[in-house]
Structure formats: structure tokens, C-alpha cells
A and B are shown apart, each in its own frame.
Chain A
Amino acid sequence: MRVQLFATCLVDTFFPETGEATVRLLRHFGVEVSYPQGQTCCGKPADSGGYRHESRKAAEHFISIFEGNDDPIVIPSGSCVSMVKNHYPDLFKDDSRMREKAEAIAGRAYELSQFLVNVLKIHEANLSGKGRITYHASCQLTRELGVREEPLLLLQSLKGAELVPLPYADRCCGFGGIFMAKLPEVSMALADEKLDTVLSTGADTVTGCDHGCLMNIADAIRRRGSAVQVKHIAVVLAEGLR
């Protein structure tokens, strides 16, 4: 099986280890991973800011990089997948040619945990893990894509690790893209609230499927001086590969 990887601009710029973990995981399970060079950003920041013209530019570029085959596009971020799946077709609602292309791309997009569980079934692969892990359910992943169970199935399957439920797991962490820059006080208060729930679980690691949220939570941890580790789910899973 072949897939194309869209790493996301956050992984590309800030968290290359998550990209590497994603590639290792997919290859370990026999998937041929190609990384189309020239990929940039899905356009989500412009889209949620209301900059339709600019998000269309991003979508056009994304489509031009990924079109031309039928391989699944695997993306380690719920919000980027939601952008591609739910918003791209809407951006071209008045342009039937582009809309068709956008719909074809949308049909190929998978969020990583979705792909790992529903296509590769790696939750049945006896991966190992360690420590007490808790999971933050990011907003677009949960509510726009409806991916609720897949990350939990993966984390529960890790031998040697304990998954502890996070209270109010699907409450927003306060990242919200440019929201974090425009209302930083509110954003930090929400990240602090999220961290309080993380600490209440006694977990040593908090994980999730979106680096935006994880970055915001990591900042709350840094400000608090807490020792809790923040890892993308790809990293947690890849650590269990021998």
C-alpha cells in the first residue's frame, strides 16, 4: 500500500520528530510513504481567520501538490484534515472545476489515527508503551471529523502503558489558531484549565493528534514548571516499535 504524507506546517517547522515517527510507523506496517516536496500549509489559519481569498490560495497549492493519483493522504493533525475534507470543497463552491478537484482530494484525506486503526488496524499489533498516558481530544478531530474512538483504541492497546481518562477531554485547550495570538489571556487561561485536568489524572505524559493544541498545553506546562511530557500520538506509538 502507498500513501502520501502531508506533514503539516507545524510538524515541518517545529516538530520534525513527529513527522519522523509518522514515517517510521507507516513503514513499519508495510506502507510505502511518499513525501511530495513543495508542500506548505493547508491554509487553516487563514480560513478560520475569515481570509477566504488566502485560504483558497493555500487550497489551490495543496491540490496542485497532491493531485494526480489515488493514494490516501495521511496527515498527523485533525484540524488540517478537517480543513481539507470539510472546508476545501466549500472554498470552491462557485467553481465547479476546482470543486471537483477539491472533493477528490477531500476523499483521500485521512487523519493519522483514523488511518492506523481503520485501514492498518495497528491497535491489534501489540505495540508496547510505558508510563501513565492521558489523551486530549482536539476539537476539529472530535467534532468536525467525528474521530473519537480511534486514538483511544491505539493508546489502550499499548502493552505496559496505562491510559488514564482525561476529565472533560474534548474541551477546547484554547489554541484556536490565531485565537492564541489575538486573545492570549483567554488562551492561556484555557490552557491552564486543560493542564489542571491533566495533572488531576496523575499522568506523566499527555498526548493528542494535533500539534497546535499540544503546543498550547506545552506552554502551560512550561509556565507552571510541571514535569508532564507532551508527545504527539505518532511519537508515543513509534516508541513502541522495536
Chain B
Amino acid sequence: MSTSTQGIPFRTNAAEALRNATLRGAMRNATDTFTIKRADALSGVPVEEWREQASAMRLHVLDNLSDYVDRFEKNAARAGARVHRAKDSQEARERIGSILKDHGIGSVVKSKSMVSEEIHLNNYLETQGVRVVETDLGEYIIQIAGEGPSHIIVPAIHKDRRQVGKLFAEKLGCEYSDDPAVLTRIAKKILREEFLSAKAGISGANFAVADSGSIVLFTNEGNGRMCTTLPPLHIAVLSIEKMIPSLADLPKFIRLLPRSATGQILTSYMSVITGTRKPGESTGAEEMHIVLVDNGRSEIVNGEYREMLKCIRCGACLNACPVYRMVGGHAYGTTYPGPMGIVLTTLLDGMEKANPLLEATTLCGACEDVCPVKVPLPQLLRRLRERRVEEGLTPKLEQTGMAGFGKIVKSPFLFHLGQTAAHFLWPVATKIGPKVALDRLPRPVGKIFGRRVS
């Protein structure tokens, strides 16, 4: 994985991933399993009606986003949390860094959060001398491997159990095992000590409830609850579009998010956290900070790509995407991979850097089919490709070719001339032309169909 000023070298990264048999096996197993489990979990339920309702709710929130953010801020403050607004990644991570510094905290436990990846929080905190311990098992695995997540809900999806066994033996000094139960026990023992001694916990949020000022966390391992209730200080970091109006709207997502993500009917743990620990309560942080990250979203919400912000980060579009399934998340060289990742990265990081990712779609539409909130991903991808052309960021040879196509396509004479030339020049063209493309096509026929039909 590497990036350059020319943009992300997706083709090189993808070709490298395709040569990695372990990665491909792991990707195939995981995405096939999620595809089947998702379909099972959604059979026999009125899925179209649910998607329609969830989509409408997300659109309603986007239509009134700044109002809901204000309401959330007010109600969270009333519940005892301190709310911070960060206009970009830098502001967000510096704010979190300074909260920890003010408390003299040198070590934090953290539950999985994609927005914390977006703002590159861990790296920043490490440079500030804060030790960060990821407590979601997948995140823990990639953290000790020194990697970033390759899937938005299954961060270590690209690894198989033998790799994890070797990694644990090497980094943790334990005996090699590739039994997931044994490996989980090893991680659990280490993480338990971390939870009990931590002075601060950092979490993300799946939803933020405007009417109550609550944040809602969906996890499967219970680590989110440990991070947010055991340490005396809790910092939640979330992007502004996570709002829902009230707790009454939550069921619309409780039923769809886990089904779409992992094929579970319900998530194993759902935590609703409303401010700080109150007198008489036995759990909860004594001090809570909520960092609301904008990072361009206030602008995106007013533009033609606004529907991207409906996304609830289930990862179903990744599992359904043919390109993602083949190459995994690291090839994208971004925080968010797959179809939603291409669109969101282009919006957040800019066309210049992200434009090579716009190749990474066949526009097959499988992503839109599985999206629980009906984000029109193929349309957004196509529109971004149009913008890329408008900005002159496609290869020069392609621009020339397409300009030629625009002329030839409206002239039957030139079109047929081209077909004839292709037939005769084919043996030469396949020798000197772009081999990997032309080699895979049959030779154009000598007498085209249009001349045979009467």
C-alpha cells in the first residue's frame, strides 16, 4: 500500500493483492459467508419496506442536519457530557490529545471507530506519547501487526487464523495456535488487564440521538461497553451525520444494521450512553467528552453527493463488491475501501488523490442492491467519473480515444471503416497495442453483421 502525488496506485496495489493467495482465500471465505448470512437474515422480512423507511429517516436527518447537531449538542451537555466541534481531522485529534494531556493520561483503551481512523487518531496520540490499545479483536490483531483496517466492520478480514496464530506467537510471545478460541482467550486475558487499569476510554458511535443527547454503540464483543464504562474518562468521537432524531427512531436501524453487516438478527451488545454517571448509578464514566467531526460534511450535505452521508457503515457494499472481494481493503490505500469508500474518499480527500480509485468499479450495481439505506452508489460513482473527466484527470490517451469515439460513433462510414481496419490490423494491433486488453478479445470479423442482414 502506498500513495503518491499522482494519486493512489490502485492497479499496482490490486495486482499485488491478487498474487497473495492467503489474502484471496481469506477474502473469499469471509465475503461468501457474509453474503449468505445476510441473505438468510433478510429472508422472510419486509426488507424493501425497512430499507425505504431507513433511507427516508436518513434523508430527513440530512435535510435538517445542523438543527439535529445543535439539539444533540444541547441535550448531551444537559446530560453531563462536554461537546466539542471539530471542523477537520487535525482539530479533532488535537482536541482529543489535549483532553488526555489535561488529565495526565498516557494510555487509553479504545473500541473500534472508523472516524478515528479517518482522522488518523492513533498515530497522532502515539506521537503525543499516549499508548493506545485497540480492544476490538480484529482491531487488536491489525494493531499489533502494524496495519490499518481492511474492512469497515471486519478490520482483519484479510488475515486467516494461521497468520493470526503466527502474529500472536511472534508479538505476544505465546505458544503458536491457530484455534480461534485459544487465540481469543489470549487476547481477552491481555485486554482485561488493560480495561481494568485504563484511565480513559475512546469510542466511536453508530448513532447519536438528538433528543436525548445519547450515543449508541453496536458491538459484538462487549469491548465497547468496557471502554465506555470502566475508565473514569470517556471520549466519544463521531462524525456529524450520525444523528437520528430520537430513540424511537433507533429500531429502524437496530433491525437493519446487524443483518446487513454480519447477517446477525441483532447485534450482541447495544449500548445507549447518555452523559456521565449519575448519583446512584453503578457504572459509567465520571467525565465524558464528545468530539463531533465535520471534515467537510457540512458542505457535502448541501451538494449533489449528499446521499453518501446516509451511509450507516454496515460494510454490506464491500462484501458485495466484485472488486473489493478480489483485492481486499488495503489495495485502496484509504481509510474507507469498497464502493462506499471510493465515493467517500473522493469527497473527503479530493479528486486529485482519489481519482484512480474511480477505476475500481465495474458499475455492476451489487452495492446498491444490498445497501440498507439505499445509497445510490453506482450513480454517485458514475457522476464522480464524469467529474473526473470534466477536471481532465483521465489519462491523455483515453481522452484522445474517447474524443475519437465521439466523432466516429455518429458517422456510420467512419464506424464501419474502423471495424474493417480492426479486422485487418488485428494481428499487428495485438502485438503492439495494450496487450492485456486486446489479447482477451476475439478478432473482429471480416464481414460485419450489418452487411449480412437484409
Contact = CB atoms under 8 A, between A and B. Distances in A.
Interface in B42-68: none
Contacts of B11: 182-183, 185
Contacts of A219: 440-441
Nearest to B444: A13
A35 B448 CA distance: 13
Contact of A37 (B326, B388, B450): B450
A231 to B, nearest CB: 14
A45 B412 contact: no
B347 interface: no
A190 interface: yes
Contacts of B69: none
B389 interface: yes
Contact of A40 (B365, B415, B422): B415
Contacts of A189: 18, 326
Interface string A78-107: 000000000000000000000000000000
Contacts of B322: 171-172, 174, 190
29 contacts: A5-B453, A7-B449, A7-B453, A12-B450, A13-B422, A16-B452, A20-B452, A35-B450, A35-B453, A37-B412, A46-B406, A49-B389, A50-B388, A50-B389, A51-B386, A54-B405, A54-B409, A139-B364, A143-B366, A143-B369, A144-B365, A171-B322, A177-B362, A177-B363, A179-B361, A181-B434, A183-B359, A184-B440, A189-B18
Contact of B412 (A20, A40, A48, A190): A40
Indicate the member of A13, A53, A171, A176 with the most B CB atoms within 10 Å.
Answer: A13
Given A12-B449, A37-B412, A184-B437, 5 more contacts: A57-B410, A183-B360, A186-B326, A190-B326, A215-B440
Contact of A13 (B365, B408, B410, B445): B445
| Interface hub of B10, B442, B450 (most chain A Cβ within 10 A) | B450
A182 B359 contact: yes
Lowest 10 A-B CB distances belong to which pairs?
A50-B385, A176-B362, A54-B406, A181-B437, A172-B364, A184-B436, A16-B449, A143-B365, A19-B449, A139-B364
Nearest to B358: A50
A176 B363 contact: yes
Contacts of B407: 57
A215 B443 CA distance: 11
Interface string B376-417: 000000101111110000100010001101111111100100
Interface string B1-33: 000000000110011001000000000000000
B430 interface: no
A35 B449 CA distance: 10
Contact of A143 (B326, B359, B368, B415): B368
B306 to A, nearest CB: 18
A23 B452 CA distance: 11
Nearest to A193: B326
Interface in A13-57: 13-16, 19-20, 23, 35, 37-41, 43, 45-54, 57
A175 B450 CA distance: 24
A238 interface: no
Interface in B346-361: 358-361
B362 A7 contact: no
A185 B439 CA distance: 13
A180 interface: yes
Contacts of A23: 453
Given A46-B405, A179-B362, A14 B394 contact: no
Contacts of A7: 449-450, 453
A155 interface: no
Interface in A108-129: none
A175 B323 CA distance: 11
A216 B440 contact: yes
Contact of B15 (A50, A143, A176, A185): A185
Nearest to B453: A35
Contacts of A170: 366
